[in-house]
């Protein structure tokens, strides 16, 4: 069933972007699976926030958590390099991907329902505690548990297709074998200290080598909301993940492959 679900997700995304009213394009999604009983879900109450949900809070008989990464094309990342504010293309990509995540989640709820499984989707964003700016269900951390990647210095999850993209997740009563988690860091700075480009690219000085000010980051997001209000609610920035080594690849894995060929 695992391969069937992966194919269903990839086919849905491929078909979805045939709609000529949508300007954003996405690469082939990555999909990961975690056991709902994985003890790391309880650890998120310490790592993220004490009110962070576990799968059983969302679905009492939860067996599996499915996470997916929707990678952006290089052209979208390139559009977001030069100016202080996010590019219009990046803002549109954010808004349209949030819609895609919602529709893909509903499709999977229906698809798994036909197989007899109850499934719950979680909104792509804004499922947070507003005064703390911390989510009660972190898609990034859930995707880490599902084996999709490792965290970078920019707090993004670096997958084998980089960190330029969006993550969604669902909880289902269907029992599916979990994926293993990568043990090696994917961030060059965490791996060997050779990169801090994301820190230098943070336009509001929210990201530091040893600190992250989420309120400064959010202030920058709100600037973009105002700039792109004709597009939708684009509380997004993306400067720390554009034109860095981990934008569209796992640079540590790439570095390892290069060393082997020497």
Residue with tokens 């990342």: 77
Higher per-residue pLDDT: 127 or 85: 85
Contact call for residues 187 and 150 (beta carbons, < 8 A): yes
Q: Would you state the pLDDT for residue 198?
A: 94
Confidence check: pLDDT of 262 > 70? no
- Non-local CB neighbours of 76 within 8 Å, separated by 6+ positions: 24, 25, 89, 90, 93, 164
Confidence check: pLDDT of 234 > 80? yes
- Non-local CB neighbours of 142 within 8 Å, separated by 6+ positions: 34, 41, 65, 67, 167, 169
Q: What would the mean pLDDT of 237-243 be, rounded to a whole number? A: 93
Residues 180 and 132: their CA atoms lie apart, in Å, by 32
For the chain, the average pLDDT equals 93
Helix or strand or coil: residue 260?
helix
Contact call for residues 95 and 232 (beta carbons, < 8 A): yes
Q: Which of 153, 152, 170 is nearest to 162 (CA)?
A: 152
Q: Would you state the pLDDT for residue 259?
A: 58
Q: Would you state the pLDDT for residue 144?
A: 98
Q: Would you state the pLDDT for residue 50?
A: 86
Q: Would you state the pLDDT for residue 29?
A: 98
Q: Would you state the pLDDT for residue 256?
A: 67
Q: How many residues does the chain have?
A: 262
Q: Would you state the pLDDT for residue 171?
A: 97
- Model confidence at 252, pLDDT cuts 50, 70, 90, reads very high
Chain segment 8-20, per-residue pLDDT in tens: 999 999 999 999 9
Residues 62 and 38: their CA atoms lie apart, in Å, by 11
């Amino acid at each position: 069933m695992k391969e069937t679900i992966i194919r269903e997700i990839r086919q849905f995304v491929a078909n979805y972007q045939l709609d000529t009213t949508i300007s954003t394009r996405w690469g082939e999604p990555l999909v990961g699976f975690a056991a709902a009983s994985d003890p790391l879900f309880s650890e998120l109450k310490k790592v993220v926030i004490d009110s962070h949900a576990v799968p059983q809070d969302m679905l009492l008989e939860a067996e599996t958590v499915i996470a997916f990464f929707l990678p952006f094309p290089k052209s979208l990342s390139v559009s977001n390099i030069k100016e202080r504010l996010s590019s219009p293309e990046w803002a549109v990509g954010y808004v349209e991907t949030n819609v895609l995540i919602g529709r893909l989640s509903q499709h999977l709820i229906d698809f798994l329902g036909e197989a007899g499984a109850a499934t719950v989707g979680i909104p792509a964003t804004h499922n947070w505690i507003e005064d703390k700016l911390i989510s009660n269900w972190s898609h990034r951390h859930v995707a880490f548990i599902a084996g999709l990647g490792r965290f970078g210095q920019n707090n993004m999850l670096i997958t084998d297709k980089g960190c330029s993209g969006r993550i969604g997740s669902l909880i289902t009563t269907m029992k599916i074998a979990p994926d293993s988690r990568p043990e090696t860091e994917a961030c060059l700075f965490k791996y060997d200290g050779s990169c801090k480009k994301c820190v230098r690219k943070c336009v509001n000085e929210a990201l530091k080598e040893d600190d992250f000010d989420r309120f400064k980051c959010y202030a920058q997001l709100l600037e973009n909301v105002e700039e792109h209000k004709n597009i939708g609610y684009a509380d997004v920035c993306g400067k720390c993940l554009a034109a860095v080594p981990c934008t569209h690849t796992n640079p540590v894995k790439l570095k390892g492959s290069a060393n082997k060929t020497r």
